[in-house]
Chain A
Amino acid sequence: MTARILVLGCGNPSRGDDALGPALVARTRDWLAQHPGREVRLVEDFQLQVEHALDVLDADLTLFVDADASCNAPFCLRRAMPERDASYTTHELSPEAVLHAARVVTGRDPPPAYVLGVRGERFELGEPLSPAASGHLEAAWDELMELLDDPRPSAWDARAAGW
């Protein structure tokens, strides 16, 4: 059976490099239109919230895609594990907190999930993607294609480890 993949992109398209997540979701949507038959569900939102735990529970494999102001350029890929963190105390949640919410709601570990964080530099209202982020977007897109080409946790773990 084909794995049901969830690509969950976050960010504000009008906030400079915060648009990286939505840009990757939009590009994936176009790509899927050209490559039908893939079990890929796309969700886009400004920020993660508790209800996204329900989206995660409906998938076999989740990829959170977001701008990252602190990772190394051009992007980082990492496995996300359920974890309680300080993001529970705001209007937005971290990927780990969403997974934790999913675990608490169901009493079992959620399906494997990964974070593709794309390095962003500038987040001002009304600004386009910075030149640096535009380059990071291309690199992240290549990575995303590799991930969708082999949607197995072991393969994604290997890529996250740099293999």
Chain B
Amino acid sequence: MTHVLETAAHPRALRRVAIEPLTRVEGHGKVTILLDDQNRVHQARLHIVEFRGFEKFIQGRPYWEVPVLVQRLCGICPVSHHLAAGKAMDMIAGVRQLTPTAEKLRRLMHTGQMLQSHALHFFHLASPDLLFGFDSDPDRRNIIGVVREHPDLAIRGVTLRKFGQEVIRHVAGKRIHGVACIPGGMNKALTIEERDELRKQTPQIIRWCQDAVRTCRDLLEQCEHAPIFGVFPSNFLSLIRKDGALDFYDGGLRARDAQGGTIFDHVDYTRYNRYIHEEVKSWSYMKFPFIINLGDEDGWYRVGPLARLNNCDFVDTVFAEHERQIFREAANGGMQHATLAYHWARMIEMLHAAETIERLLDDADITGTDLVVHGERQSEGVGVIEAPRGTLFHHYKVDENDMVVRANLIVSTTNNNQAMNEAVRNVCASYLDGNKLTEGLLNHIEVAVRAFDPCLSCATHALGRMPLRVELVDAEGQVIDCMVKESDGTCVSQTP
């Protein structure tokens, strides 16, 4: 697992191509590729060009405010941060076991988030590439192309996403900025009316999710690139339930190698920093986590839907388990290593989320009112959940005045940092090497990154920001071509 193409031997003699920012990727990412005169790829890197300072934002705040505060770190997965911080604050509050109602409400909210996030990604960000082809006309290869040519698919995507958000809204009281999760439990009960409102929709939602798995599987079968595109071996990391089942909310840490062998299993996640370290590289603001006993060269791993379905022994809902078995059989029972298999795994998880929502709504505990327990105050807390994009770590230390004095967050996209770089290099080596650069070829790189559904966001979205900038730089470092796409879609050449 050495990082071929991470660093060129003689970078000064090479041309540099930058794709900035990546489209259909949240936040500020940039890919740079160094090419020689024959367009041979010598170096490819995915950079994160924005420094986020999450930890500084949290330090100095009272610990009970943190679950609410961290929702503002990211506009894409606020519920994930809310729940990870909530679990950490349970520890700070000295609570080891929530009431059944509180835990089930948290799980309900979390599966709602999983469903809406996966629906958005597949139907609106990924499906244009799969439906129309990686190098099809970019005017067609977008969500509007999907709406125009596959209206039922697009409308289902919107409706599924809306349902997931309604689940969140009913549990939290609001779709964003909710105060659902508090140290030791939940702040609000689910009423019978709210439960019934959601429950009547679940049969349709489950059917649509089943259709989505089939659609995704069919698209991948028809995709000429699927068997070879971004296929590379890696380790996988995820939470796992005690009995080996897929679990988004809780469990121990399981790491498996590329052949499916166990690296560690059922590790208490509060001890994560004895198993995982983060490496800093000079060319990116995002750290590179790795499994300590494998070292930084070989210890990197993938997280998210692909890792979860590779790692789990089974899924505890009927339809999703059936689909998981098909998924694993397609890899002859071994580990799936194709980057595009992320999409397939994501749709199976969406189906599991829908089935889980129905099961939770049928559980009598879900409308209970015993919501909070108390314990003996501690000074340190760790919360880990499986966010839509992968394993999310929140770790806090609190002083005697209840103020957070230290915070460490390893977000899902950071966990996938090295893997995304590997995917970029793999695609560059397979598709770009020696070829003339075209928009379609550059989109291949974006397709590889998008499969991870990276979220590099800090949720700042003022109008008039985030232009797309592509630069071509010669061997002397001079910009010889530059194209800027403004946020309104107009393209302007800024060639010197």
Determine which of B120, B143, B464 lies in contact with A88 in the assembled complex, contact meaning CB atoms within 8 Å.
Answer: B143
Query: A10 — which chain B residues lie within 8 A by C-beta?
Result: 461
B278 at the interface (CB under 8 A from A): no
Q: Contact at B457–A70, with CB atoms within 8 Å?
A: no
Determine which of A14, A45, A69 lies in contact with B465 in the assembled complex, contact meaning CB atoms within 8 Å.
Answer: A69
Determine which of B23, B57, B124, B154 lies in contact with A126 in the assembled complex, contact meaning CB atoms within 8 Å.
Answer: B57
Total A-B pairs, Cβ < 8 A: 138
Instruction: Tell me the bound Cα distance from A12 to B458 in angstroms.
Output: 9
Asked, given contacts A14-B72, A67-B462, whether A100 binds B157 with beta carbons under 8 Å apart, the answer is: no
Query: B463 — which chain A residues lie within 8 A by C-beta?
Result: 66-71, 94, 115, 117
Query: B466 — which chain A residues lie within 8 A by C-beta?
Result: 90
Q: Contact at B24–A89, with CB atoms within 8 Å?
A: yes
Comparing A49-57, A136-144, A145-153, A154-162, the segment that makes contact with chain B is A49-57
Task: Sort chain B's interface into a size bin.
Answer: 35 or more
Determine which of B142, B154, B465, B487 lies in contact with A105 in the assembled complex, contact meaning CB atoms within 8 Å.
Answer: B154
Q: A70-93: which have CB < 8 Å to B?
A: 70-71, 84-92
Asked, given contacts A46-B176, A50-B157, A68-B462, whether A12 binds B72 with beta carbons under 8 Å apart, the answer is: yes
Closest to B26 in A: A91
Instruction: Tell me the bound Cα distance from A68 to B489 in angstroms.
Output: 17
A24 at the interface (CB under 8 A from B): no
Query: A110 — which chain B residues lie within 8 A by C-beta?
Result: none
A15 at the interface (CB under 8 A from B): yes
CB-defined interface of A116-135 with B at 8 Å, one 1/0 digit per residue?
01001001011000000000
Determine which of A11, A89, A105 lies in contact with B23 in the assembled complex, contact meaning CB atoms within 8 Å.
Answer: A89
Instruction: Name the residue among B75, B142, B457 with the largest chain A CB count within 10 angstroms.
Output: B75
Instruction: Name the residue among B155, B176, B489 with the largest chain A CB count within 10 angstroms.
Output: B489
B148 at the interface (CB under 8 A from A): yes
Query: A89 — which chain B residues lie within 8 A by C-beta?
Result: 23-24, 142
B292 at the interface (CB under 8 A from A): no
Instruction: Name the residue among A51, A71, A126 with the largest chain B CB count within 10 angstroms.
Output: A51
Determine which of A13, A91, A105 lies in contact with B76 in the assembled complex, contact meaning CB atoms within 8 Å.
Answer: A91
Determine which of A44, A70, A101, A120 lies in contact with B143 in the assembled complex, contact meaning CB atoms within 8 Å.
Answer: A101
Q: Contact at B57–A14, with CB atoms within 8 Å?
A: yes
Which residues on B are within 8 Å of A, measured CB to CB?
A: 23-26, 52-54, 56-57, 69, 72-73, 75-76, 78, 120, 124-125, 142-144, 147-148, 151, 154-155, 157-158, 161-162, 165, 175-177, 455, 457-466, 468, 485-489
Q: With A46-B78, A68-B462, A69-B462 given, name 10 new contacts (CB 8 A).
A: A14-B72, A47-B75, A50-B143, A66-B463, A67-B462, A87-B487, A92-B75, A94-B463, A105-B147, A125-B54
